[in-house]
Amino acid sequence: MIKMFRIVFIVLSITNLFGQNISFPQNGIDNPNILTTHHFGIFSSRIASNLKHQALKNTTLTLNISSGNNFHPYVEGYFPKNPEIRQQFSETTWYNRRFNYVDEDTTPADYMNIVIDAVIKNFSLGVNIPINKNRELNINLRSYLITKGAYPFSPITSDETIEWFHSQVIAKDDPFGRKHYGLNQVNFKYLDRNGKTLQLNTNDFFIGGLAFNHFYYPELAINKSKQLFINLGTHLGINTSKFNASTDVGASVNAIKKFNLKNKYELNFGIHGSVLRKNIINFNSKNSDLGNNKYLATFEANPQITKYTKKGNFNAIGINYQIQTSYNKKEEADYYFLLGDWQAADSGWHHGISELYNSLSNWSLIYSYGTPKFQCSFYIKQDFLVNNAPDLQTGISFKKPLFY
């Protein structure tokens, strides 16, 4: 991780020396990397939205740092193989099911367990390279650090901040059991249904992978007549962690509508849709099962209002809504049986498994400030459906053009 920051420092120094005359105007909705620190998602590529009007004119360097609080108490899951038991369970509310598991011979069932408690830090370094007027290539290297999330390194996403909010603002003390299990600790362990264990400890650092994203910006009559812009993306991800050495592929479409307002204000509204095929190639037979839903589909909607200054600088505020399909096949929720400490964790004791069968959604509030020389952004992300994946996430981003 230290080496990565040294490389960034050297590149930025060279940029300051040779890139003084490069112009870097606002270009649609140029968001930071707001992908979640989901405890399965960090091991796969996933696809970020690209809501720019046109391809960048200059090669651009981007550094993103994010921090997400992920918490799921220990929970066990059984998945009966007997069709009669499955049918019986499908007619019963999941929390009223009773499964008398004896052994694999008499009551065959798949089994898994999971516990997640950590503040996950993401460090990603990206470069956008213009190919021609209508095409660009984005290359992104992502890495992760597993932390306890203690002050002062995680002032917003720490356990203390979240539990202070729960007790003082919504007046519900320890609704998910963080205090019961202990604040500021790492407990990150997952046993998949194939008997493979994924475990991370305090201060574990790993390179998640490298992503190659190609975008095509077609020149259309509606670009000028309607100020409507479209771009198409193709995506290749190479995952390098020991838990998921594999290749993902995907495609995306992005559309942005621009409105010119009075007094140097501009409104953009963007939508994004994408599909990722996970693990199309596996390099390691020991890969963990990170969800048996092979495809992840994502939709985003993002309005942003921008105010320009007389000097050509800008301030922009945007709201991003994202929803992603489930990591596991939803039909399994019709017959699974879950065991956990429901008295300690209240309503969230089952989330570690049950939320793998739900679509995951979140809202992000994003602020960006830009000049002709650089752009910096800050965002805060909240999961209002309380699936805790993550519960709360923040991030900062810095972008700077390099050479023509």
pLDDT in tens, 299-309: 999 999 999 99
The mean per-residue pLDDT over the stretch 116-123 comes to 97
Q: Averaged over 165-173, what is the pLDDT?
A: 83
pLDDT in tens, 309-336: 988 899 999 999 999 999 999 999 999 9
54 has pLDDT over 80: yes
Report how far residue 333's alpha carbon sits from residue 336's, in angstroms, rounded to the nearest whole number. 5
Tens digit of pLDDT for each residue in 79-108?
Answer: 999 999 999 999 999 999 999 888 888 899
Whether the predicted pLDDT of 19 surpasses 50: no
| Statement: residue 16 has pLDDT above 70 | no
As for how many domains the chain has, the answer is 1
Are 145 and 1 a contacting pair, CB within 8 Å? yes
Average pLDDT over residues 201-229: 97
* Mean of pLDDT values over 36-63: 95
- Has residue 6 got a pLDDT over 50? yes
Give the model's pLDDT for residue 18: 47
For the chain, what is the radius of gyration of the CA atoms? 23
Could you list the residue range(s) of the whole structural domain that residue 53 is in?
A: 2-401
Tell me the C-alpha distance between 342 and 374, whole Å. Answer: 49
- State yes or no: pLDDT of 138 exceeds 60: yes
Could you give the percent of the chain with pLDDT greater than 70?
Answer: 93
What is the per-residue burial (b if ≥16 Cβ within 10 Å, else e) of 120-133? bbbbbbbebebeee
- Tokens linked to 163: 């539990």
CATH number, domain containing residue 162: 2.40.160.40
Residue 286: closest CA among 347, 330, 245 = 245
Q: Which residue has the higher pLDDT, 16 or 345?
A: 345
Dist CA 271 CA 266 (whole Å): 17
Instruction: Pick 331 or 10 by higher pLDDT.
Output: 331
pLDDT beyond 80 at 4? no
How far is Cα 282 from Cα 245, in angstroms, rounded to an integer? 6
